[in-house]
């Protein structure tokens, strides 16, 4: 039995049956990381000693009859999520060496569930990017083709799961940063409703858009991690005080009568023909499984990209103002305080600098109403589009990304081309809905393609079940 090739749910079964131990599974994962990650570079920090300690503790809990769903399962955590006693850099040199004295809410939940934390995964700096090329440390490579990007900003987490270097992983999604890398790496990635998973302890990029999400090799794996880490947190003012459903029990695979909307604005000129074919084939499979397919319109889709790139940089400008070298992270001594802050902030990479400048300009006197204020109004129109659509359908099906993974360096000097990688994922974040990406095929180069399923607010159970039904009728996830 090759432990690293098991899914999360398969591992839980063999752990509960006493066929292996968490220590053995964790050591197998650590050995695979040593063997594979020099090429893929998905991890920034590997917590091997801590992981083995947690695994030994999990084995004791299992021996005492504890059946917690993540007990003893090795998990990876995006390095924008605070972990007590473990470096949290947000992929930035300006936080190099920062070790939080507390755990983020989702990490607290992981520990309560008995999960084993393997380490912290690479990310675009402050989650600003679509390729994980913007990390302040190194670029993560796509396990399917090492010359290509894994997507971003949660590329390290997606690559770790795809390369069997973690059974599941946590990421964050501000404009598609879970779903797009899930698509590029051929895994399942869930972006829950805004407020479903607490952001307490997550380094902020754009506070009205950021949301923690989960990666898994299968829908059931992704669901198990989501189940264990969701919930109300009074420390987060945006956390939703709603009951936590049994999402795992909702995976029935029955989607007969499910109304699936296909937005005409999401099949556009310029998208990869192989991507369109795979996604339309996947939608036809949903119909074969009993779903009702309807064409719908999301008329303000064309404004999502400019709206996002006004709101997100504006919020980033405010959030990143705290990095002054005084409270945490490196401090470069200058001639005076102002000079010291200037030199310290020079540690920001090119992408955060670009977004800080864009955001500061959009918020400046004389331009606030013209740019940021108007963007908020159009955001409302985009949200209304989704609400109107969900009066007609239960789920929206569309591509996750217009292309498969592009080559490393191909779009670095063309920010607009890079931003367009998220054209099909941005609108969801602006609307505060939920969505996921599930593998639906490969292109002629052998690169994964993702089907995006979008649900209304708090409808995670519905989209997870639709993805589960689709997954069970195909075998794309078995190619990992």
Chain position carrying tokens 């993560």: 140
Distances (CA, A) of 267 to 139, 183, 288: 30, 17, 21
Q: Which ranges constitute the DSSP H helices of 289-435? A: 304-319, 337-345, 350-363, 374-389, 415-419, 426-431
Closest CA to 46 of 33, 58, 59: 33
Which residues have a Cβ under 8 Å from the Cβ of 452 and sit 6 or more positions away? 179, 183, 397, 398, 399, 400, 424, 425, 435, 436, 437
Q: Are strands 168-172 and 74-78 parallel, antiparallel or unpaired?
A: parallel
Please give the Cα distance from 342 to 159 (Å, whole number): 35
Question: Is 135 annotated in the active site?
Answer: no
Of the candidates 21, 130, 131, 177, the residue annotated as catalytic is 177
The helix or strand, by DSSP H or E, that contains position 452, with its residue range, turns out to be: strand 448-455
Of the candidates 78, 109, 120, 433, the residue annotated as catalytic is 78
Distances (CA, A) of 285 to 280, 290, 473: 9, 9, 8
Contact 129, 136 (CB under 8 A): no
Which residues have a Cβ under 8 Å from the Cβ of 125 and sit 6 or more positions away? 90, 91, 92, 134, 135, 136, 348, 349, 351, 352
Question: Is 473 annotated in the active site?
Answer: no
For residue 64 the two structure tokens come to: 């005492």
Contact 219, 463 (CB under 8 A): no
How far does CA 120 lie from the centroid of its chain?
Answer: 14
Closest CA to 292 of 304, 300, 284: 284
Of the candidates 22, 130, 153, 183, the residue annotated as catalytic is 153
Question: Is 153 annotated in the active site?
Answer: yes
Q: What angle do the packed helices 460-472 and 273-288 form, to 10 degrees? A: 100
State the DSSP code for 171.
E
Which residues have a Cβ under 8 Å from the Cβ of 398 and sit 6 or more positions away? 262, 263, 266, 267, 279, 424, 451, 452, 454
Distances (CA, A) of 29 to 6, 164, 224, 435: 11, 8, 19, 29
Please give the Cα distance from 185 to 353 (Å, whole number): 28
Residues marked active site are found at 78, 153, 177
């Amino acid at each position: 039995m090759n432990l690293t090739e098991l899914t999360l749910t398969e591992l839980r079964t063999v752990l509960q049956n006493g066929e292996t131990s968490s220590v053995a599974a964790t050591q197998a994962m650590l050995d695979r990381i040593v063997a594979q990650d020099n090429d893929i570079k998905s991890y920034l920090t590997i917590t091997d000693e801590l992981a083995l300690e947690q695994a030994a503790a999990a084995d004791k809990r299992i021996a005492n009859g504890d059946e917690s769903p993540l007990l003893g399962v090795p998990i990876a955590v995006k390095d924008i999520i605070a972990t007590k006693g473990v470096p949290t850099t947000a992929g930035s040199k300006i936080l190099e060496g920062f070790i939080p004295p507390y755990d983020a809410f989702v990490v607290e939940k992981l520990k309560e569930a008995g999960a084993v934390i393997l380490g912290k995964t690479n990310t675009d700096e402050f989650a600003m990017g679509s390729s994980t090329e913007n990390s302040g440390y190194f670029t993560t490579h796509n396990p399917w083709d090492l010359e290509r990007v894994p997507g971003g900003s949660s590329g390290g987490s997606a690559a770790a799961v795809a390369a069997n270097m973690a059974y599941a992983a946590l990421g964050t999604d501000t404009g598609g940063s879970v779903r797009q890398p899930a698509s590029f790496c051929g895994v399942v990635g869930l972006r829950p409703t805004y407020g479903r998973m607490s952001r307490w302890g997550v380094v902020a990029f754009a506070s009205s858009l950021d949301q923690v999400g989960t990666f898994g090799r299968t829908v059931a794996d992704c669901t198990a991690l989501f189940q264990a880490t969701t919930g109300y947190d009074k420390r987060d003012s945006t956390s939703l005080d709603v009951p936590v459903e049994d999402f795992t029990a909702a995976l029935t695979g029955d989607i007969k009568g499910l109304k699936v909307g296909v937005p005409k604005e999401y099949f556009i000129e310029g998208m990869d023909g192989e991507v369109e074919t795979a996604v339309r084939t996947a939608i036809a499979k949903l119909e074969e499984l009993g779903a009702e397919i309807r064409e719908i319109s999301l008329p303000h889709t064309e404004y999502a990209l400019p709206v996002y790139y006004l709101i997100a940089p504006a919020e980033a400008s405010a959030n990143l103002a705290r990095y002054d070298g005084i409270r945490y992270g490196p401090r470069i001594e200058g001639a005076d305080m102002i000079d010291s802050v200037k030199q310290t902030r020079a540690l920001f990479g090119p992408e955060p600098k670009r977004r800080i400048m864009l955001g500061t300009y959009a918020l400046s006197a004389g331009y606030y109403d013209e740019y940021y204020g108007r963007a908020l109004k159009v955001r409302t129109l985009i949200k209304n589009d989704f609400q109107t659509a969900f009066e007609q359908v239960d789920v929206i099906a569309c591509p996750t990304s217009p292309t498969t993974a592009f080559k490393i360096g191909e779009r670095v000097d063309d920010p607009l081309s890079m931003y367009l990688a998220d054209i099909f994922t941005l609108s969801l974040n602006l609307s505060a809905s939920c969505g996921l990406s599930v593998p639906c095929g490969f292109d002629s180069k052998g690169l994964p393609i993702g089907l995006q399923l979008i649900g209304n607010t708090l409808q995670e159970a519905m989209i997870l079940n639709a993805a589960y039904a689709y997954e069970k009728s195909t075998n794309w996830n078995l190619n990992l």
